Amino acid sequence: MTVSAVALTFALGFVAPASAQVTGTVAELDILDGGRTTQGTYMTAVRVTLDDGWKTYWRAPGDAGIPPHFDWNSSDNVGNVSITWPTPEVFVQNGLQSIGYEDQLVLPVEITPKNPSQPVHLKGTMDLGVCKEVCIPAQLDFDHKLNADAGRNPAIAAALAQRPYSAKEARVAQASCRLTPTSDGMQIEARVTMPSAGGQELAVIEPGNPTLWASQPDTERQGDTLVATSEVISASGAPFALERSEIRITVLGANHAVDIKGCSAG
């Protein structure tokens, strides 16, 4: 197994003063084997281990985060790649809210081989952001041939168990999205009828198009309905259309999280 470590000797000044500097290895990546499933896919995981107190980001990182990005192009015999994101935490630092993981991230990945009779070799990079007093970008390499005969991996099983509930599991009765043009883009008002996820709930809205950016929603509960309002803008500033079927709403609560894919007209 190849373990990739990153030694960070630079910093961006968007959280700490520009003179701040980080030295030493703060993040390591290794690939976990979970063997082959009954469907013929490979269950594996990317594990990122961080030094004490360091954090990394979820796929929708919040106000000032860097979303992780994978490059699998140097891999062999990799067809479909399906990632299961464990429920993240919400952090507030210097008045900015971010969403991610502290100390360690185990990210389950299910690989469908192009040729089921041939081995799968994962090789590529993971670009990510890491934060403590400062926030900095990093790139980690991986190079690992998957073991088809590996047994059940407890770390992968634990990460899979930490996934958000589906809409059905959380008893979501309805999810609708009202779209209203704004001077800069489009406002989404999402209304989700569901039991409380516990405590102060936070909704995260993802527009489903990587060229679009959604602001952190204002979230409030009105009886049995959670209402979240966000503005979506295009990085290019060009006009765009939103497909309600591609909008993804994640509700983060004190008891559990809920992953809602698609919404009806509001």
pLDDT tens per residue across span 131-162: 988 889 999 999 999 999 999 999 999 999 99
Q: Which of 108, 133, 161 is the last residue of a domain?
A: 161
Contact by Cβ (8 Å): 261, 242? no
Q: Is residue 188 predicted with pLDDT exceeding 80?
A: yes
* Cα gap 121→144, rounded to integer Å: 6
Calculate ∠ Cα 21-22-25, nearest 5°: 160
CATH number at residue 220: 2.60.40
Calculate Rg over the CA atoms of the chain.
20
Q: Which of 123, 144, 161 is the last residue of a domain?
A: 161
pLDDT at 96: 82
Containing structural domain, residue 96: 4-161
Q: Is residue 73 predicted with pLDDT exceeding 90?
A: yes
Distance of CA 55 to the CA centre of its chain: 13
Where is 195: in which H helix or E strand?
A: none
Query: Do residues 23 and 127 share a domain?
Result: yes
CATH number at residue 97: 2.60.40.1250
Q: Which residue type, as a one-letter code, is found at position 178?
A: R
Contact by Cβ (8 Å): 233, 183? no
Contact by Cβ (8 Å): 245, 209? no
Query: Do residues 170 and 154 share a domain?
Result: no
**At 180, phi and psi to the nearest 5?**
-130, 125
Task: Give the whole-number percent of the chain exceeding pLDDT 90.
Answer: 82
Residues 89-100 pLDDT 10s: 999 877 788 999
Query: Do residues 145 and 179 share a domain?
Result: no
Q: Of 27, 24, 29, whose CA–CA distance to 1 is shortest?
A: 29
For residue 42, the cross-strand partners are 36, 111
* DSSP letter string, 2-60: --EEEE----BTTTS-TT----SEEEEEEEEEEEE-TTS-EEEEEEEEE-TT-EEEEEE
Query: Do residues 244 and 189 share a domain?
Result: yes
**Model confidence pTM above 0.85:** yes
Residues 221-265 pLDDT 10s: 999 999 999 999 998 888 899 999 999 999 999 999 999 999 999
Total domain count, the chain: 2
Least reliable range by pLDDT among 15-29, 97-111, 166-180, 234-248: 15-29
* Cα gap 185→110, rounded to integer Å: 35
Query: Do residues 146 and 250 share a domain?
Result: no
Q: Which of 107, 127, 161 is the last residue of a domain?
A: 161
